[in-house]
Structure 1
Amino acid sequence: MEILNFLKDNVEIGIIVVLGFMGFLVVVYTFERLFFYAKVNIKSYKNADELEIALTKNLTTLYIIYSNAPYVGLLGTVAGIMITFYDMGMAGGVDAKAVMVGMSLALKATAIGLLVAIPTLMIYNAFSRKVDILMTRYSSL
């Protein structure tokens, strides 16, 4: 019972904080990569492997975020739905208003997860394409 009350009070905040941190990392790494790609001099690298390592730095983090943000949001949704069902069971009756409010709050976590994941996927794909272009330019030198 105490665990459920703790979850009820904190799961939404916890999920939003995690997703907010993931979004913050996306912004930081996006600007870092943009500045790096704008000033990179591919002629200064000794070999293609060294260049590829420099070009793909932090892209793995973006990949991890875009592939996992929806799951973090889904975790919040599942926890919210469980809490809603528990509250309904403890109340002994079904109040449509309470169910709808509980479900809408639970689904907010999934929406935020998708809000983080979709732009991150687009950013990751754009950067992957930029890496391909720069690597092709390096090989044609």
Structure 2
Amino acid sequence: MDILKHYLDFSVFSILGLMAFIATWFIIERLLFFRQVNVSDYDHFDLLTIDLTKNLTYISTVGANAPYVGLLGTVLGILITFFDLGTTKTIDTGQIMVGLALALKATAGGIALAIPSIIAYNALMRKVEVQQAKFRAHRDFLVEKSAHEKV
């Protein structure tokens, strides 16, 4: 139990840090891609969609799972607090409150990572929708242009 007690915060926040790095990496990658994408380079809507949505799953996964990683850290922190109380056989409300407060920081960290990840995912999905609309408009323009040239 001592190993868990000493390395719990480090483990939970290392995992959350890795998740934050992954989300940040793919958010930057997607933003750079969206800056240079040209819908007229695509011949098919689905090929465009595949390229536009690449790596968005990772961002969504971080946003969806970061609170659970934080919650796991909180549950383990509470478990450690109660274990320590049980082994000392004394009830010190101050010790209980400190243990619970420290345990809750893992959940706060998970939520703090999830919120910007989900915001970024939604913003990037909006960019996907805009690019798809541009593709449809470009395709419709080409169809109309070719119909007028035949007349």
TM-score, structure 2 as length reference: 0.89
Q: For 2:2, what is the secondary structure of its paired residue?
A: helix
* Alignment-mate amino acid for residue 109 of structure 1: A
SS, match of residue 140 in structure 1: helix
List gaps (5 residues or longer) in structure 1.
none
Q: Distance in 1 between matches of 2:121 and 2:71?
A: 22
Give the corresponding residue for 2:97: 100
Q: Which runs of at least 4 in structure 1 moved beyond 6 Å after TM superposition?
A: none
Aligned-pair CA distance for 1:93: 1.1
TM-score with structure 1 setting the length:
0.95
How many residues were matched structurally? 138
Q: Secondary structure at the match of 1:120?
A: helix
C-alpha deviation, 1:104, in angstroms:
1.1
Q: Say which one has the larger Rg.
A: 2
Distance 2:98 2:55 in 1: 39
Counterpart Cα distance in 1 of 2:93 and 2:81: 11
Alignment of 1:13-32 (within 5 A): 13-32=10-29
Q: CA deviation at 1:120?
A: 0.3
SS at match of 1:106: helix
Per the alignment, residue 128 of structure 1 pairs with 125
Identical-pair percentage:
44
Measure how far apart 1:140 and its partner are. 1.4
Q: Aligned partners of 1:140 and 1:79: how far apart in 2?
A: 53
Match of 2:72 in 1: 75
Report the alpha carbon displacement of residue 64 of structure 1 after superposing the two structures with TM: 0.6
Which ranges of structure 2 fall in alignment gaps of 5 or more residues? Answer: 139-151
Query: Is residue 2:67 matched to residue 1:63?
Result: no
2:145 is matched with: none
Determine the C-alpha separation between the residues in 1 that align with 2:28 and 2:99: 37
The answer to whether the aligner puts 1:46 opposite 2:49 as a matched pair is no
